[in-house]
């Protein structure tokens, strides 16, 4: 323990009285007041009391800050996990979107194929019907013409009719074939 000189003691007491400045810190723990100096003993007690009070306050504040820091760190961990989860969800959404787009494209493609197939089937049907009609009319007129010739009947009207009808039928059949070729060409080009 350390005993201060009379001069130091007086100066310390004077400073405390006039300027309210007290010795503080662990240095206080090694200062000792003489047994016959109650004034300095009281002074040292006051210094220790003030020092302890200040330390206690600081300790409480530090603990509060420590507690807040701990909570912030915990909140940061939670935030980080939430951000990670959000990123995962975003990735899942992106993947789902890409999959939906692929399915949509495939569906569009299927629809297009279906439309084309239907279109071709329709054309095919028209062509068949048209050809059967052409062949039927042609055949019927020819048979009628042959019958008229073989029966020595008047063939003037049927001859003209057969000739006209055949010309019309040939023209129409070429027109149908031409239309089909045109549609096919246009379809292929649009693809």
CB nearer to another protein: give 3 or 91: 3
Minimum Å gap between C-beta 87 and another protein is 27
6, 63, 106, 116: which one contacts another protein (CB under 8 A)?
63
CB of 15 to another protein, least distance (A): 22
Which listed residue (1, 30, 35, 151) binds another protein by CB under 8 A? 30
* Helix (H), strand (E), coil (C) string for the chain: CEECCHHHHHHHHHHHHHHCCCCCCHHHHHEECCCCCHHHHHHHHHHHHHHHHHHHHHHHHHHHHHHHHHHHHHHHHHHHHHHHHHHHHHHHHHHHHHHHHHHHHHHHHHHHHHHHHHHHHHHHHHHHHHHHHHHHHHHHHHHHHHHHHHCCCCCHHHHHHHHHHHHHHHHHHHHHHHHHHHHHHHHHHHC
| Number of residues this chain uses to bind another protein (CB under 8 A) | 15
Nearer to another protein, 59 or 111 (CB): 59
Nearer to another protein, 58 or 128 (CB): 58
The answer to whether residue 83 forms part of the interface with another protein (CB under 8 A) is no
């Amino acid at each position: 323990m350390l005993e201060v000189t009379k001069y130091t003691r007086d100066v310390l007491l004077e400073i405390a009285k006039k300027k309210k400045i007290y010795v503080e810190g662990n240095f206080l723990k090694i200062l000792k007041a003489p047994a016959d100096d109650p004034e300095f003993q009281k002074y040292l007690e006051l210094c220790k009391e003030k020092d302890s009070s200040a330390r206690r306050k600081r300790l409480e504040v530090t603990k509060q800050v420590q507690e807040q820091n701990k909570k912030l760190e915990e909140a940061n961990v939670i935030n980080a996990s939430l951000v990670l989860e959000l990123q995962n969800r975003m990735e899942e959404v992106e993947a789902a979107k890409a999959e939906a787009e692929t399915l949509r494209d495939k569906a569009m493609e299927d629809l297009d194929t279906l439309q084309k197939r239907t279109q071709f089937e329709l054309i095919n049907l028209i062509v068949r019907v048209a050809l059967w009609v052409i062949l039927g009319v042609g055949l019927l007129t020819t048979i009628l013409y042959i019958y008229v010739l073989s029966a020595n009947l008047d063939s003037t009207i049927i001859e003209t009719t057969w000739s006209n009808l055949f010309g019309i039928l040939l023209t129409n059949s070429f027109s149908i074939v031409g239309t089909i070729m045109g549609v096919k060409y246009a379809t292929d080009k649009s693809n």
